[in-house]
Amino acid sequence: MWIIAGWAAVAATSIVGAVVLGPVRGVFIAWTLISVSALALVARNVQIRASRQRGERSLAPEPSDRTSRAWRGWLRALLAGPIGLAAAMGVAVCFAVWAPLEDQTRIVLGGVTVPILWGGAMAWTLADDRILRATAVLVGTAVVTFAAAVLKGF
């Protein structure tokens, strides 16, 4: 019963929005209002409880307390910089070569994803305690994606 009533409310809101504001803008505004009203319904029943103290938890945990070595610092800098960039560019070039989209769309999406992927590679390599794992993954990603792009041809 409630499911049928909910779908009827969605249909009625869409139809009224289309009649009042036009078929494109009205449906868009109606569906936006449906989402906002669902969020308001959920937010109405939110209860803020005191959290249990299980220890120190943070969204940005501190780096490990191991003794630092010079080669680890240099390797992290190389991974966050040029190696991470090479892996990000490899994924973007592979996408631009293999995606079944128009040429302009593939090039633009490939170019837009490079800074996002590079930022992800930086964050991961600087936060991960296992630096050799990050090295293997980023170098492997760069080699595999560039090789896949070369297989089809730039």
At 71-123, the pLDDT tens digits run 888 888 888 889 999 999 999 999 999 888 898 998 999 999 999 999 999 98
Whether residues 27 and 74 share a domain: the answer is: no
Give the helix ranges, DSSP H, for the chain. Answer: 2-21, 25-44, 70-78, 84-98, 103-127, 131-152
Whether residues 81 and 8 share a domain: the answer is: no
Residue 104 belongs to a domain: yes
Residue 129 belongs to a domain: yes
Confidence grade of residue 137 (pLDDT, cut at 50, 70, 90): very high
Confidence grade of residue 16 (pLDDT, cut at 50, 70, 90): very high
* Average pLDDT value for the chain: 86
pLDDT in the model for residue 57: 58
Q: Look at the block and give the residue holding tokens 């390797």.
A: 75
Whether residues 81 and 135 share a domain: the answer is: yes
**In the predicted model, is pLDDT for residue 53 greater than 80?**
no
Q: Distance (Å, rounded) from C-alpha 32 to C-alpha 137? A: 41
pLDDT in the model for residue 146: 92
Residue 36 belongs to a domain: yes
Quote the percentage of the chain above a pLDDT of 70. 88
pLDDT in the model for residue 61: 57
Whether residues 143 and 87 share a domain: the answer is: yes
Residue 17 belongs to a domain: yes
Whether residues 75 and 148 share a domain: the answer is: yes
Whether residues 77 and 146 share a domain: the answer is: yes
Determine contact, residues 71/125, Cβ cutoff 8 Å.
Answer: no
Confidence grade of residue 64 (pLDDT, cut at 50, 70, 90): low
pLDDT in the model for residue 55: 61
Q: Distance (Å, rounded) from C-alpha 140 to C-alpha 76? A: 16
Lowest mean pLDDT among 5-14, 96-105, 125-134: 125-134
- Whole-structure pTM over 0.75, yes or no? no
Residue 60 belongs to a domain: no
Residue 54 belongs to a domain: no
Whether residues 89 and 143 share a domain: the answer is: yes
Whether residues 146 and 87 share a domain: the answer is: yes
Whether residues 93 and 133 share a domain: the answer is: yes
Residue 14 belongs to a domain: yes
pLDDT in the model for residue 87: 94
Whether residues 147 and 74 share a domain: the answer is: yes
Residue 62 belongs to a domain: no
Whether residues 35 and 92 share a domain: the answer is: no
The CA distances from residue 64 to 67, 75, 114, 127, 130, in Å, are 9, 16, 29, 9, 10
Determine contact, residues 84/122, Cβ cutoff 8 Å.
Answer: yes
Structural domain boundaries, residue 32:
2-44
**In the predicted model, is pLDDT for residue 65 greater than 70?**
no
Domain count for the chain, please give it: 2
